[in-house]
């Protein structure tokens, strides 16, 4: 491992700990002590008419509302596994955060999950009619948030180590192909589960980096946060490069020494909570990325 790939304080212990936990155990372990914001479990009606769970982290009665979309490779993940991230962003921004579930691939595949996210945004806007909305997500959730923002105007975007393209030969895909948590082979498998026939590979709703300049110009100010040791790192930096060329307001932060999924590891990794605080500052004032 080179100096560039040295793990941040607490990251090695977090990796070892997480590997030995079931999803339910992980949700409990990583959320311990993260109970600052009052919460309300609710639901919304998904795009196919089904009931989908949501959790509201109540902040101030004014200011932006963040709709947060969990990751999990479009096939997994949960509201519970993202408890710490949502709690910290609600506490440190003073804003309301709404974490949603959605239908998971492979049954049904793309674009079912995205359609559910759109339904959630529409319905929660009706519940908070006088509040601006910000979209956020991590990993596959970042993919869904960005795809949704192309034709659902919002005040801002907060994206954590998102899946934005299907180029598995980027420098970060090659450098971190295996041995650092999320692998290149696993990402290829997840794409095949989300888009089984590869019929949508040119669709920017699946691969946002394939969006035209005109589509990217529709995006609001964005806060982009990437993990330094992650196959997906270059997805975020490439997106930032395109936004820069188009003079679209954004901030980019690549956190060194952390691996994919780190933002909910703040119980052991100080850098995780620091990055969430960075996102919370943006949430409090999305016009200043």
pLDDT tens readout for residues 194-229: 999 888 999 999 999 999 999 999 999 999 999 999
d(CA 52, CA 42): 9
- Domains of the chain in sequence order: 3-284 (3.40.50.1820)
3-class DSSP state for residue 256? strand
CB contact set of 264 (below 8 Å; sequence gap of 6+): 30, 81, 82, 83, 84, 85, 272
Of 181, 120, 168, 108, the C-alpha closest to 145 is 120
| Residues of the chain above pLDDT 70, percent | 97
User: Considering the chain, what is the average pLDDT of its residues?
Assistant: 95
Torsion of CA 221, 225, 226, 232, to 10 degrees: -40
pLDDT at 3 over 60: no
pLDDT at 284 over 90: no
pLDDT at 116 over 60: yes
pTM of the model: 0.96
Of 138, 133, 146, the C-alpha closest to 242 is 146
CB 83 within 8 A of CB 27: yes
Q: How confident is the model at residue 288 (pLDDT cuts 50, 70, 90)?
A: low
């Amino acid at each position: 491992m080179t100096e560039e790939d040295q793990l941040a304080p607490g990251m090695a212990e977090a990796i070892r700990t997480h590997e030995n936990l079931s999803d339910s155990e992980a949700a409990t372990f990583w959320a311990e002590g993260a109970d600052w914001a009052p919460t309300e479990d609710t639901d919304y009606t998904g795009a196919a008419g089904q009931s989908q769970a949501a959790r509201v982290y109540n902040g101030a009665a004014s200011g932006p509302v963040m709709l947060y979309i969990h990751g999990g490779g479009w096939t997994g993940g949960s509201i519970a596994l993202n408890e710490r991230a949502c709690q910290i962003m609600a506490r440190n921004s003073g804003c309301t955060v709404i974490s949603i579930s959605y239908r998971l691939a492979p049954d049904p595949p793309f674009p079912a999950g995205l359609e559910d996210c759109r339904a959630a945004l529409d319905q929660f806007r009706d519940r908070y009619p006088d509040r601006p909305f910000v979209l956020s997500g991590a990993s596959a959730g970042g993919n869904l948030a960005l795809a949704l923002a192309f034709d659902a105007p919002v005040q801002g975007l907060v994206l954590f180590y998102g899946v934005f393209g299907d180029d598995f030969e980027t420098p970060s895909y090659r450098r971190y192909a295996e041995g650092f948590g999320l692998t290149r082979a696993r990402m290829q498998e997840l794409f095949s589960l989300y888009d089984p026939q590869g019929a949508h590979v040119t669709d920017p709703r699946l691969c946002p980096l394939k969006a035209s300049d005109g589509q990217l110009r529709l995006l609001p100010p964005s806060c982009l946060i990437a993990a330094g040791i992650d196959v997906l790192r270059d997805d975020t930096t490439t997106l930032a490069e395109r936004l820069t060329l188009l003079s679209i307001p954004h901030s980019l932060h690549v956190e060194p020494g952390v691996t994919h999924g780190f933002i909910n590891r703040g119980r052991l990794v100080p850098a995780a909570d620091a990055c969430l605080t960075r996102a919370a500052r943006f949430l409090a004032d999305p016009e200043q990325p």
